[in-house]
Structure 1
């Protein structure tokens, strides 16, 4: 009875995974792995970018140049990335999996960065604790 019960449980657990067919992407859509790589790079570029001091037009140009650089480094175009992004937005289950992996990779990169970075930020010194104690009056006695 026990072996039958165990076999039934194993079959019940494995049965739903048999229905999972591989996802066939349209030809012009980037693969899941490529999207993860590009999204990690895009988030790093956006987080490192400082557009303060620029007009809105200049900031948009700067972002466009950075995006083009990311796309070129990953062998794709912005239009193909945008089409792929839109495709995955229409498939939320795949999009969630992609973004979960993006978050995992960014978290791992942050951990590596924090581990390598020496603690350079020193706490502020309180100027009152390092001051000379008050012992004499600051002004002389005024004759009356």
Structure 2
């Protein structure tokens, strides 16, 4: 069941990566000093996508319940990575305006999720 949900995430990740790859503009601009590194973003995003998969797997009847569970999982992710939501959001916004870098991040996210699946460690 987790595999099916995580596979769905892979389809989403592949689509996003492809889209970003197609629309990527070449920019060597470096992220702001306060932004998370690409590796940090990839680790966090891998955990976020796995958390989304876990919530989907639960098949909760209420979207409110799903949202509450997902918010709890996100708080655990922020704590695990020692990052606050503002730094994450600003970093995410920066990378979304730099498609080439975001595409590289999602390539890393895909690899991280594949590795965790092989190790049967899909918990965020």
Q: Which runs of 4+ in 1 moved over 6 A?
A: none
Equivalent residues, number: 95
Q: Which runs of 5+ in 1 are unaligned?
A: 1-20, 115-144
**Displacement of 1:93 after TM fit?**
0.5
TM-score, normalization: structure 1?
A: 0.57
Alignment of 1:8-47 (within 5 A): 23-47=29-53
RMSD over equivalenced CA pairs, Å: 2.4
- 1:87 counterpart (78, 81, 94): 94
1:54 deviates by 3.8
Select the structure that is richer in helix.
Answer: 2
- With 71-80 and 93-102 compared, the bigger mean Cα shift is at 71-80
Residue 45 of structure 2 contacts residue 109 of structure 2 at CA under 8 Å; is this kept in 1?
yes
The runs of 5 or more residues in structure 2 that have no matched partner are 1-26
2:81 equivalent in structure 1: 74
Q: Report which structure shows greater RCO (CA 8 Å, sep ≥6).
A: 2
For residue 61 of structure 1, give the secondary structure of its aligned residue in structure 2: helix
CA contact (8 A) 2:43 2:112 kept: no
Return the alpha-carbon distance in structure 2 between the equivalents of residues 70 and 103 of structure 1. 18
Q: Does 1:55 align with 2:66?
A: no
SS at match of 2:35: coil
Deviation string, structure 1 residues 60-97 (Cα, Å, up to 9, x no partner)? 11111111110111011122212211110100000000
